[in-house]
Chains A and B, each alone.
Chain A
Amino acid sequence: MRKSRAAYPLTWRVMDMLEAIAARLWPARFARALPYLMLAPAVLLVGILVLGLVQIGDSSLRVLDTSTFLMSEDYTLANYQRALTESFFATVAGRSLLGSVIVTVITLILAFPYAYLMVRTPSSALRNVLLVALFLPFFIGQVVRAYGWLIILGNQGMVNEALGLVGVPPMRLLYNYPAVLFGLIQYMLPFAVLMLAPALTAIPAELEAAASSLGANWLGTFRHVVLPLARPGLVGAGLVVVTLSLTDFAIPAILGGGSQDFIANAIYDQFFRTSDQGMGATLSLLLVAVGSLLVGLVFMLFGAGTLAMTGERK
């Protein structure tokens, strides 16, 4: 005689019920649509930004009338023309692009060993220390953090005082382009490590052991085994760093001493200082275009990295 279904554990029954509901709601023939359905919430959420971009796009086609501080009724491309011809914007754009590339390269070089040590060390205490050190800087805020740097790197800061002891006169270490890049690298480091770590966990330690038992020295192992396998992680981390540093506002403003503006600072000035929403909107859209092109380029050259594992695996 068959046992009654009630004899099954409760969880089984719940699961069966859920399966039935899922099957009813989503018959197998719809399976092809499943990934799109899974993507839908994210696409919708980012849609809020797109709605904002539409509004911004509208103002980018209007110019500011400084006798009424209203945007013009008629559409014009004047803002775009200004943005593309005035040398100031080219200077700032060049500085941001170059800066974001340099920052990305150095950040990855620093982040890689950090992430490697974090996932490979047998000591869970060390792992936790490394993990916590990543999150610490977020909590003191940009302004206070910059103040901390001033205490360390200022003209009368600790480093200059130490140098003074060996007879080196005080030098300006802050408020220049290298200081901005330094600040950005520090800011981006945690993101890069956190993006790299999961990719590195996926590389079996036995693989390295095998390589070295076959006579490869550790540098060779690194170059021929670890780095290629970590490439998706590096691409993913690199994309995060390059886009975030390209659009950063706070670090150039705080550590640049006012003369090292990035594009986002020029955008801030238009929106907040000169009240020219049209120009601010234009620069924002151009920056989005440049950033997206850059991302597309990286995708073409290196693949999508950890951002989509499918392509790499098959």
Chain B
Amino acid sequence: MSHDKFLTTEIRRRTLLASMAAVGASATLGTGKAFAQEPEKPAEIIVRAWGGSWVDSLKAGVSDSFTKATGIAVRHDLTEDNEIQPKVWAAVAQGRVPPIHINWDTTTNATKSALRGVTEDLSDLPNLKNTTELAKPVGLDGYPIVNTYGYVYVLAYRPSAFPNGAPKSWKDLLDPKLKGRIALYNDGIGFHFPAQVAGGGKLEDIPANMQPAWDFIAKIKEQQPLLGEDPDFTTWFQKGEIDAACTISTNAREAKKNGIELAWVVPEEGAKFDTDGLWIPKGLPENELYWAKQYINHALTKEAQQVWLDGLGLPGVVPGLTPPADLVGDPSYPTTEEDFKHLIRISSKVQVENESQWFAKFKEIMQG
């Protein structure tokens, strides 16, 4: 069984390598029509994406130009990343054609799928050679996923609630007047690592000794934080329920664009930096796999990255991108060595292997 699979991947890769360089080039040139060995085009491909401004950016930057270049329509499946995962896994396990062609996913979730062996290998994408090392998933062989940008879990806050100036430390969340006024993600994602530092621990001790993080989180629990997801945070800021939250900068920026009074910082303990990526589930027909790879290849062009990531306000994986005007010098848009010093990056492997315990521990503290 595994023997078979290995063989077909090999053959597939060789035929692909020949055709793909050419097509990759033609796609970026926008000529569309190419070579005789190009596999049959499906009418559409399905890309899983997050809703709201996330999918709008992807559409503007990648999907629309892909359709223009190839004539293949792109349909966006807005199922949450967590919720598509069991669907894709079940499809692969049952030998069905998966419900999506491409999954836009967090690197951590994507790594789980890669470890499980449900991802196609992407190391033969021609445009990978133009990418920075950020594109390469850490701790995995080859490219079962391609990272497409990085993002920061910033401390977003309502300036009017901080009359003495922006919060400097995650410990500022322990201020008694913020009781019941702060929000974290449901599973604490983005908060575990800065909590480790704020609790007096060392990042090198992750995952072996995270007691400092749990101690700090227990103190935060005394502040009665609200726990939720991105739309909750926006709503809560909008309706005056909270004054501060640990959230992805993109959502904070989107809320600000919608007229909500918001600003954000990377506190002195640092903030979690992570990546999102694209991957293709196993089980697609040969020709659809080919065009799905073309889509990802296209997402790695500078033109596509520029528009897509302008929408998201995030740093990409090809050199020479121009930051959006509102984010020049912003700590949530790291570009220099110095910027990255303030950010905490833990390998996906450590994260996926321990995440369920971290989530469980966080839940235990918060639900107690």
Interface, chain A (partner B; CB < 8 A)? 64, 66-70, 86-88, 91-92, 143, 147, 150-151, 154-157, 172, 174-175, 257-261, 266, 269, 271-277
Name the one of B231, B359, B366 contacting A259, with C-beta atoms under 8 angstroms. Answer: B366
**A257/B240 in contact, CB under 8 A:** no
Residue of B whose beta carbon sits closest to that of A150: B239
Residue of A whose beta carbon sits closest to that of B240: A156
Contacts of A70 in B (CB 8 A): 116
9 example contacts (A-B, Cβ-Cβ < 8 A) are as follows A66-B353, A143-B231, A257-B228, A266-B363, A269-B359, A271-B86, A272-B83, A274-B356, A276-B356
**A155/B356 in contact, CB under 8 A:** no
Docked pose: A271 CA to B83 CA in angstroms: 9
**A258/B115 in contact, CB under 8 A:** no
Contacts of B228 in A (CB 8 A): 257-258
Contacts of B115 in A (CB 8 A): 67-69
Interface range on chain B: under 10, 10 to 19, 20 to 34, or 35 or more? 35 or more
Query: Any chain A CB within 8 A of the CB of B113?
Result: yes
**B85/A272 in contact, CB under 8 A:** yes
**B239/A273 in contact, CB under 8 A:** no
**B239/A175 in contact, CB under 8 A:** no
**B82/A272 in contact, CB under 8 A:** yes
Determine which residue in A92, A156, A157, A257 has the highest number of CB atoms from chain B within 10 A of its CB, and name it.
Answer: A257
What is the distance, in angstroms, from A81's C-beta to the closest C-beta of chain B?
15
Docked pose: A308 CA to B15 CA in angstroms: 67
**B356/A258 in contact, CB under 8 A:** no
Beyond A68-B116, A147-B235, A259-B366, 7 additional contacts (C-beta under 8 Å) are: A88-B367, A91-B368, A156-B240, A174-B241, A271-B86, A272-B86, A273-B186
Q: A68-B115, A69-B115, A257-B227 given as contacts; is B82 within 8 A of A273 (CB)?
A: yes
**B112/A69 in contact, CB under 8 A:** yes
Query: Any chain A CB within 8 A of the CB of B226?
Result: yes
Docked pose: A147 CA to B231 CA in angstroms: 11
Contacts of A150 in B (CB 8 A): 235, 239, 241
Contacts of A68 in B (CB 8 A): 115-117
- The 4 A-B residue pairs with the shortest CB-CB distance, nearest first, are A258-B227, A274-B356, A69-B116, A156-B240
Query: Any chain A CB within 8 A of the CB of B120?
Result: no
What is the distance, in angstroms, from A160's C-beta to the closest C-beta of chain B?
10
Docked pose: A37 CA to B363 CA in angstroms: 48
**B363/A64 in contact, CB under 8 A:** no
Contacts of A273 in B (CB 8 A): 82, 186-187, 359
Contacts of A69 in B (CB 8 A): 112-113, 115-116, 352
Query: Any chain A CB within 8 A of the CB of B364?
Result: yes
Q: A147-B235, A272-B83 given as contacts; is B359 within 8 A of A154 (CB)?
A: no
Q: Which of B230-248 contact A (CB under 8 A)?
A: 231, 235, 239-241
